[in-house]
Amino acid sequence: MITEFAALVRVHVLGNWPVAVTVVPLAIAAATYLITSIAYLRATRSTKHGRAPPTVPYWLPVVGSTLEFVVDIEKFIKRVQTKYGDDKPYTVKLLGRTGNFNLIMKPADYSAILRSTKYTSNKLLMAEVMEKVFGTPQYVMPMYRRDVSGISPTPIPGTDIPEHQRIWHNQHASSARYLVGDSLRSLGARYVSSLSEALAVANPNDPVDSGEWVAMADFYPWWRSRVFTAATTAMFGPHLIRLNPTLEADFWAFIDVIPMLGKSYPRWMVPRAYAARDKMIAAVKKWHAFARAHADYRHCGNDAPDWDEYWGSVWLKVRQRWGQDTGIMDDDGLASEDLGLLMAANANAIPMAFWNLIEVCKDRALLARVLAELRSGIVSPPGQSPMTFDLGPILSSPLLQSIYAEVLRMRISLMVTRIPERGVFRHGPWNFEHGAFIALPSGYVGYHEGAWAEHTAGGQRPVSEFWAERFLVPDEDGTAKTKKHKDVKAATEKEKPKKMRFSTDHVEGIWMPYGGGAVMCPGRHLAKQEMMGGVAVFAAYYELEVAEGWVPKMDPFFYGVGAQQPAEPTPVRIRRKIGGWRKP
């Protein structure tokens, strides 16, 4: 019987090439899916401790799940959750990846993996990002990949990386110095001052500044063009933009192609993406050359000013000096490093401030509460222009902080990754091999109904909807009580409404817009100041109306790579406030 069937196949399939061209690939795909499905079932039924996660079944040999994963990561993750469940991790077969790619689907696993910095890190991923996204030259990349000495001042025992080439420790230490304390406050204040000065100037040729309500077809480009200049000038000084007049447009063109670069599309397939990156690297190199010619980057010690017009923040001098002293980095490598910083300073905070404004302005009642809180940050007398601000009251406001955190939960999507660097990493019954990627998608867990069940006001505030108070918890020390008159026999204590405070402690491992663990994003405090400060300054100079209850859809193209961009225009009505706010 088998022999007869084989003969029929040879005659009617293999002997007929038009049929063979169609049938053979389908047969191979079906056989591949059957085999990988059987392997998946065997893996899920195993009770062996120290087993590898099951591999998601796929149709194409060699290629695996690559096409589905690359085209729409969010859709792929949702399919895995729906079809296979979220109670275990999965291995995803991806073309061209030497180590396994593992997807963590169980929210309860996130915290433990993020805290396992003794056994895992994100450094190999960061090296990959520097190469693919920011264009670090091949001859510089060994310095990134070879450095396994850790981020602590004392290198990990057994490593022999020269101190002047310990790039991960240097980045961690310099960020910890210049993105906290007085340096952070100085950067934040400079950003707010720069933005206030820009918005204080009314353009007589722009209807938006007329003082009358005007319709705007798309608010997002208008918003980001104004904030970009302030944020870039605060960090890098004025000459980066002056030397490159199209920098703002070039920057957003680069941001638009980052998903292509991150997914390893070759240059011949997406030449526009590589051209956008090349143009940004050239812009940074041009600025570096100008700054070196006009100011000594080695003057960056304790006696150096914290900011100058050529280098901007003294941190940029420190970065330049360290890179030069490695003996490996050249102009291209240094430009790639600072392109990464330019992206970090703008690509997340600016879109997040946009989403903050839209979410608040679509709710009239919430807007009234927010404006009352924002007024506390204006310190200039009525009529002064430009207005001056104190971010302290704004950054400490429980309501404003809760809105900030909720916007990040909904609008930041990262593939937070950990990689075992010293042998196999064991988590529960699962083993992850050395060099494997362990991916924790923040966009997935941020919308996971089960993980957030206790933070939905009894189901009245589902995670699919924006809720301004999701991150407010009772402040037990602030709860006040009063007693009725002592002569009343039935006197009882009556609690006043509980005072609320902002907190993310109760959502550790499921709220992770900055990653987690010891390698959490070092720029998160500056990003918070830029986001909340940007909203405060805008609200001081302008009024904004958005259709009640409406927000634009997010562009799925950016899922997994950071701040989500709007997928459609954002029509608004906008009016410049004549005279600005008046303090009561």
Q: How many residues does the chain have?
A: 584
Cα dihedral: 208, 214, 220, 226 (round 10): 10
Confidence of residue 164 (pLDDT cuts 50, 70, 90): very high
For residue 98, the model assigns a pLDDT of 72
Percent of the chain with pLDDT over 90: 80
Distance between CA atoms of 415 and 407, rounded to whole angstroms?
18
What sign has the CA pseudo-torsion 340, 345, 346, 348? positive
Task: Select from 191, 341, 226 the least CA-distant residue to 281.
Answer: 341
The backbone torsions φ and ψ at residue 490, rounded to the nearest 5 degrees and listed phi first, read -95, 30
Q: How far is residue 372's CA from residue 538's CA, in Å, rounded to a whole number?
A: 14
Tokens in use for 523? 């720029």
Residue 21: predicted pLDDT: 54
State yes or no: pLDDT of 69 exceeds 90. Answer: yes
Residue 573 host element (H or E): strand 572-576
The interaxial angle of helices 123-132 and 247-262, nearest 10 deg, is 120
Please tell me which residue, 384 or 402, carries the higher pLDDT value: 402
Given a contact cutoff of 8 angstroms between Cβ atoms, the answer to whether 388 and 196 are in contact is: yes
Q: Which residues pair with 418 in a beta bridge?
A: 438
3-state secondary structure of 117: coil
> What is the token pair recorded at 491?
């006197």
Q: For residue 101, what is the enclosing H or E element?
A: strand 101-103
Q: Is 157 helix (H, G, I), strand (E, B) or coil?
A: coil
Q: How far apart are the first and last CA of the chain?
A: 94
Single-letter amino acid, residue 200? A
Whether residue 376 is predicted with pLDDT greater than 60 in this model: the reply is yes
- Name the residue type at position 484: K
Rounded mean pLDDT, 504-510 = 94
Mean pLDDT of 344-358: 96
Q: How confident is the model at residue 1, as a pLDDT? A: 53
User: Residue with structure tokens 């916007």?
Assistant: 407
One DSSP character per residue, 119-156 reads: TEESHHHHHHHHHHTS---TTTHHHHHH--S-SSSSPP
Q: What is the structure's pLDDT at 16?
A: 56
pLDDT of residue 476: 79
Task: Specify the pLDDT at position 182.
Answer: 93
Q: What is the pLDDT of residue 18?
A: 62
**Mean pLDDT value across the chain:** 90
Instruction: Tell which residue, 418, 416, 419, has the closest CA to residue 560.
Output: 416
Q: Sign of dihedral through CA atoms 218, 232, 178, 186? A: negative
Question: Which residue bears the tokens 């950003």?
Answer: 191
Which residues are annotated binding-site positions for heme? Answer: 521
Beta bridge partners of 51: 430
CA distances, 18 to each of 5, 21, 23, 170 (Å): 20, 5, 9, 61
* pLDDT band of 479, cuts 50, 70, 90: very low
Provide the pLDDT for residue 54. 97
3-state secondary structure (DSSP) of residue 496: coil
Please say whether the beta carbons of 291 and 324 come within 8 A: no
C-alpha span between 416 and 435 (Å, rounded): 15
| pLDDT computed for residue 480 by the predictor | 38
Q: Kindly tell me if the per-residue pLDDT of 23 is higher than 80.
A: no
Q: Who wins on pLDDT, 236 or 497?
A: 236
Q: Which residues contact 68 (CB under 8 A, 6 or more apart)?
A: 75, 76, 79
pLDDT computed for residue 519 by the predictor = 82
DSSP 564: P
- Check residue 580 and give its pLDDT: 39
Q: Where are the domains of the chain?
A: 2-94, 165-453+460-576
pLDDT > 50? residue 488: no
Dihedral sign (CA 87, 91, 92, 97): positive
pLDDT digits (tens, 9 = 90+) for 387-399: 999 999 999 999 9
At residue 562, what are phi and psi to the nearest 5 degrees? 125, -135
pLDDT digits (tens, 9 = 90+) for 90-138: 999 998 777 789 999 999 999 999 999 888 999 999 999 999 999 999 9
The pLDDT confidence band at residue 496, using thresholds 50, 70 and 90, is low
Q: 216 in helix, strand or coil?
A: strand
pLDDT of residue 308: 96
Give 486's contacts (C-beta < 8 A, 6+ positions apart).
none
Between CA 414 and CA 426 the distance in angstroms is 23
Task: Give the range among 166-180, 453-467, 531-545, 569-583 with minimum mean pLDDT.
Answer: 569-583
Mean pLDDT of 191-207: 92
pLDDT of 434 > 60? The answer is: yes
Structure-token match 């009024």, residue found: 543
Q: Which residues are annotated as a binding site?
A: 521
Percent of the chain topping pLDDT 70: 91
Q: Kindly tell me if the per-residue pLDDT of 443 is higher than 90.
A: yes
> What average pLDDT does range 163-180 have in this prediction?
94
pTM: 0.91
CB 222 within 8 A of CB 525: no
Give the residue, 325 or 548, on which the prediction is more confident.
325
User: For residue 346, what pLDDT band results from cuts at 50, 70 and 90?
Assistant: very high
Q: Is 492 exposed, middle or buried (CB count within 10 Å of its CB: 0-12, 13-18, 19+)?
A: exposed
Which DSSP symbol is given to 552?
P
Confidence (pLDDT) at 22: 66
Q: 451 Cβ partners below 8 Å, 6+ apart?
A: 107, 108, 445, 510
- The residue type found at 500 is M
Average of per-residue pLDDT across 396-403: 98
With contact defined as beta carbons under 8 Å apart, do 353 and 216 qualify? no
Predicted local confidence at residue 7, as pLDDT: 56
Mean of pLDDT values over 255-271: 94
Is the model's pLDDT at 492 over the cut of 90?
A: no
482 pLDDT higher than 50: no
CATH superfamily of 165-453+460-576: Cytochrome P450 (1.10.630.10)
Choice among 150-164, 324-338, 532-546 with the minimum mean pLDDT: 150-164
Contact 526/345 with Cβ under 8 angstroms? yes
- 224 burial via Cβ count (<10 Å: 0-12, 13-18, 19+): buried
